[in-house]
Structure 1
Amino acid sequence: MGNAVSIKDIARKFKCAPSTISRALNDHPMINIDTRKTIQEYANKVGYQKNTISLSLLNKCSNTLGVIIPSISHFHETAIIEGLEAILQPAGYLLNICVTNECHALEKEYLNRLVANRVDAICISLSQETFDHSLNEHIDLAISRSLPIIFMD
């Protein structure tokens, strides 16, 4: 992945606290406008990007919606994904799409991974195998963690 430039790296360059750099990058009025501009220009020049993982831990919000579907070859699922994207992308959300190919084990794995990745909610269309055999313990686990789940049919 390479060595990403961090706020601490920029702070060392400007010989100031990381909190000052953070404020400058977030246009905080406490930081002089010329200083903000200088720091922001330098950050752009060196390719600084916000650490969204850190922000999600801080804000307790990942701005990510997990979508678990059995197939992408059906118009129904494709239309749902396009509709979700049209609404969520302008609001700053990212879709994490998982395709199970109608496999319960894969559905369970994806659900557990999405929960572990701290998505804000999950939209799921159960696999035929899950539906036919009432295999829903993985759903119960996600619900017990107060994770919003939207079921699609």
Structure 2
Amino acid sequence: MLSFGGVAAETVMLYPNIFGDAPASLERAREFLVAGGPGDYFPPLGASVVVTGLAAVALTWRDPGLRWWVAAAVAVFVACEFLFSVLFFWPRNEIMFVDPVGTHTPEHLRQVAGEFVAGHRVRLAGGGVTAVLAFVALLRRVRATAVPAAVTPVGVGR
């Protein structure tokens, strides 16, 4: 759920500035994201989500009411956040932010930026699905372990 919130915030706050007017906006983003950027934040966060997700799968495996919700959340996260990022986003990040300025034509940079934004919708949807699956698992766990509140008869204890 944290990762989804981070990706959603990045979408609203950074993406219009980074991809709004490629290639000029890409150059501004390079200048702005010098001290730190999404590439400094999301890989460690993603790794911690995968590790804690795998631990959660192991810890909930004996509970059939939780097992598949947690496993599905981890599977969707790995597919949409990790694998999709490695295969789709990382090559485009190289083109837009790592290769020296002037290596690619403005038309190519606009195309790659457009592909990145379109692909980001898949990542955002996957993060949303992951968050919903994890939240359902959490609710199921809370409901299964909640102690019913004691009912006090009307007028008693007043």
TM over 0.5: no
Q: TM-score range by the shorter chain?
A: under 0.3
Structure with bigger helix share is 2
Larger RCO (alpha carbons 8 Å, 6+ apart): 2
Structure with bigger strand share is 1
TM-score, normalization by structure 2:
0.25
